Amino acid sequence: MLTWVEKYRPQKLRDIAGNPRAIKDLVKWAESWKKGIPTKKAILLHGPPGTGKTTTAYALARELGYDYIELNASDSRTKDIVDRIIGNASKLGTLNPNLVKKVLIIDEVDGIHGKEEYGGLAALKKWIKTSLQPIILIANDPWALPKEFRNLCEMVAFKRIDQRTVLKVLKKICSREGITADERALKLIATNSNGDLRSAINDLQSLSEGKKKISLDDTDILTIRDSELRIFETMARIFKATSCDRAKEALRESEEQPETVLMWVAENLPIEYEDPSDLARGYDSISKADIFLGRIERRQDWGLLKYAVDYMSAGVAMAKKRRYHKWSRYQYPKILTIYAETRKKREIMNSIAEKLQGKKDTYEKCHGSKKLMKSYLPIMRIIFNNNYEMAAQIASEFELNLEDISFFIEDNETAGKIYYRAKELTSERIKLKTRGEKQISLLEFG
Amino acid sequence: MFKARLADPKILKYSIDAVSNMIDEAGVSVTKDGLRLKAMDPAHVALVDLELKKEAFDEFEVEEPLVLGIDLERLNTILKRAGTDQILIQLDSENNVLKIRFKNSSTRTFDLPLIEVSEEELKVPNLDFPSQIEIPPKILSESIKDAEIVSDHVTLMVDEENLFISAKGDLGNVEVKVPKDEAKSFEVSKSCRSMFSLEYLKDMIKASDIADSVKIYLGDNIPVRMDFTTENARLSFLLAPRIESE
């Protein structure tokens, strides 16, 4: 089934709700292409989600009779792909001479990042400079883009849509769908949307699922929407989904990274699913998604991402025999809290391991991997707590600082003592060494 | 139900090789007349129309018209393994895969999973070409290869007497002249020229090895159409011109 967002997406510029000035600026720039090539060959539409940026771009292309191509976040935008698609499209003409120009629409430009898309943005920058075709870039957060990139673009800001306009759109959809809705309920949806028309329409659709009447009571399930709360919505949409497409769509529209969503799904699965066999199948899917994420990490093969994504969304959604009709209070993943709490500790462990390896020094100390070094840590802890002199010798040899020593010993005073003893040993060693060198040089010249 | 057999895989191999670089995936429609693939590349600069008539196959059976969503790159890598073996193609609709079988002293079977493609019928722009020239494909492919040495784009030009294929680059220039007499047919209502990217042309000329002739439709700064034809197959390309920057 078509989502209402798709079904009621305006096809014409004049039907687009809100942001009249931004649209006017965009049209002016696009019209200027009919006369020649403007200095700024790209325009950057930026603003919060659900304010009509993408809709406007497509409506514009259609209205001006331009051909268009698109490159969005579902395509991996590596340097090669940008070169092939944007490069060729920007320097070649159109296939149909009746369509004078071809608009290149690149959605979620601020989402081009990571190892897999390394070089994508730089390639894009190159093609913008030489483009013979208008390029429309779309981003939520333009400030995430490098300054020299922004300087190449005409900037057009899309603002949050005001509540009255959102309300008007909701009313129109209700009348087209034959839904009678309490005005107060619609107002609440509009307020909650915080100027995000897409989420308002999605809310309206989910509230009216299976019925033709919306009362104020129905809006109880709406929570105040802001970026932190969005992930709850993603969870609900995945867990409640009864088709693969719906579940995948939920993940696709989420702004979180798949890794994060997986942690959330793993944390909240037992809160939503009650039947043990549903749970078993759900966790099976989660584990498979995790295996794929692991492979991606190891092999840097981002082509596998679609499998991870399908398992964590569609796989989890299809694990249930039937939909649970209940409201669940989803929780923040504990693993993220643990990560945050132990970050400092993990950093110290890493730094000690590096010092044991001694790679930063002139010679390698303990030959071995970091993992191996970390396996020494428990033994070192025993030594540090029982034999202070040996501890000091170790600390001196590996140049451990006070923070490193405190990792092994709870008691600050003892740690301090070991640290000073280690310093003594180091200076003695240096003295011995320089004396040794002196003797050598005497021998050489003597 | 769909089943086809090809004793000589050459025609399928070469035509898929020619299109798979510019088009990643496409819907191949199968009717009782044969196979037809119409698709546009993601940059919207090249359009491919491939027709393999039923007669091109040694055996061809289809119950009702269907559309197969095919990952052309995958298909191409599979077909590259064919050698000179006989090819059997069979649709396994239960598992949604295309079974491709190479038969020689051994039998090798590849499963090509089908993909979802949009069913939207592609509109082929209607263009008026002032010039139409038919030449042996070898002449075209050799001149494209000549042009590749000096540049990444090539100019196609015709006047009343000749077809010129020329390229200019930092390292030198090249011009190929094909006189009217060498052409199989030569209809030029006015002289015209357009410039094209070699990146696409060099894939398109892969079809030269199987075609008997190529017909070039040319105009002034409009797309070029090239029809490679044999008795039972036609591979037609439309390529957008390179805009000459002032």
For B106-140, what is each residue's pLDDT tens digit?
Answer: 999 999 999 888 767 777 778 889 999 999 999 99
B216: how many CB neighbours lie within 10 A of its CB? 20
B243 vs A71, A86, A132: nearest CB: A132
Taking an 8 Å cut-off on Cβ atoms, the answer to whether B43 and A96 are in contact is no
Residue A24 located in a structural domain: yes
A441: how many CB neighbours lie within 10 A of its CB? 10
pLDDT score of A225: 46
Taking an 8 Å cut-off on Cβ atoms, the answer to whether B46 and A96 are in contact is no
Quick one: A191 and A58 in the same domain? no
Instruction: Print the domain residue range for B185.
Output: 131-239
Question: Can you tell me the distance from the alpha carbon of A355 to that of A79, in angstroms, rounded to the nearest whole number?
Answer: 38
- Residues, chain A: 446
What is A219-280 written as a DSSP string?
GGG-----HHHHHHHHHHHHHH--SHHHHHHHHHH--S-HHHHHHHHHHHHHHH--SHHHHH
For residue B117, the one-letter residue type is V
**What percent of chain B stands above pLDDT 70?**
98
Q: For residue B73, what is the domain's CATH number? A: 3.70.10.10
Long-range contacts made by residues A144-152, C-beta under 8 angstroms, separation at least 24?
Answer: A144/A110, A145/A44, A145/A109, A145/A110, A145/A121, A146/A121, A149/A121, A149/A124, A149/A125, A150/A44, A152/A40, A152/A41, A152/A42, A152/A125, A152/A128
Residue B123 located in a structural domain: no
Residue B143, pLDDT > 90, answer: yes
pLDDT score of A57: 93
Instruction: Print the domain residue range for A386.
Output: 355-434
Q: Which two tokens stand for residue B69?
A: 């969503």
ipTM confidence: 0.80
Question: Can you tell me the distance from the alpha carbon of A352 to that of A340, in angstroms, rounded to the nearest whole number?
Answer: 20
Q: Which two tokens stand for residue B42?
A: 């993601």
Question: Can you tell me the distance from the alpha carbon of B156 to that of B35, in angstroms, rounded to the nearest whole number?
Answer: 31
Residue B83 located in a structural domain: yes
> Tens digit of pLDDT for each residue in B42-87?
888 999 999 999 999 999 999 999 999 999 999 999 999 988 889 9
Q: Is residue B30 within 8 Å of residue B69, measured between CB atoms?
A: no
Nearest to A384 by CA among A364, A403, A360, A410: A410
Q: Which residues of A touch B42 (CB under 8 A)?
A: 69, 71, 84-85
Quick one: A136 and A179 in the same domain? no
pLDDT score of A3: 84
Q: Is residue A409 within 8 Å of residue A354, measured between CB atoms?
A: no
Sign of CA dihedral A314, A320, A325, A330: negative
Taking an 8 Å cut-off on Cβ atoms, the answer to whether B43 and A85 are in contact is yes
Kindly tell me the number of DSSP H helices and DSSP E strands found in chain A: 21, 7
Nearest to A90 by CA among A71, A64, A114, A116: A71
Tell me the pTM.
0.64
**Local structure of B65: helix, strand or coil:** coil
> Which has more confidence, A35 or B237?
B237
Q: Which residues of B touch A132 (CB under 8 A)?
A: 243, 245
Taking an 8 Å cut-off on Cβ atoms, the answer to whether B44 and A93 are in contact is no
Residue with tokens 């591979």: B235
Q: Which residues of B touch A94 (CB under 8 A)?
A: 44-45, 240
Residue of A nearest to B195 (CA): A92
Taking an 8 Å cut-off on Cβ atoms, the answer to whether A95 and B47 are in contact is yes
Residue A346 located in a structural domain: no
Q: Is residue B121 within 8 Å of residue B105, measured between CB atoms?
A: no
pLDDT score of A446: 46
Quick one: A235 and A220 in the same domain? no
For all residues of chain A together, what is the average pLDDT?
A: 86
Query: Which stretches of chain A score pLDDT less than 50?
Result: 224-227, 446
Quick one: B100 and B137 in the same domain? no
Quick one: A212 and A249 in the same domain? no
Residue A380 located in a structural domain: yes
Chain centroid to CA B97: how far? 24
Q: Which two tokens stand for residue A354?
A: 């590096």
Residue B16, pLDDT > 80, answer: yes
Select from A96, A105, A310 the residue whose CB has the most chain B CBs within 10 Å, as the one to mutate to test that interface.
Answer: A96
Q: Which residues of A touch B239 (CB under 8 A)?
A: 95
Residue of A nearest to B46 (CA): A95
**What percent of chain B stands above pLDDT 90?**
73
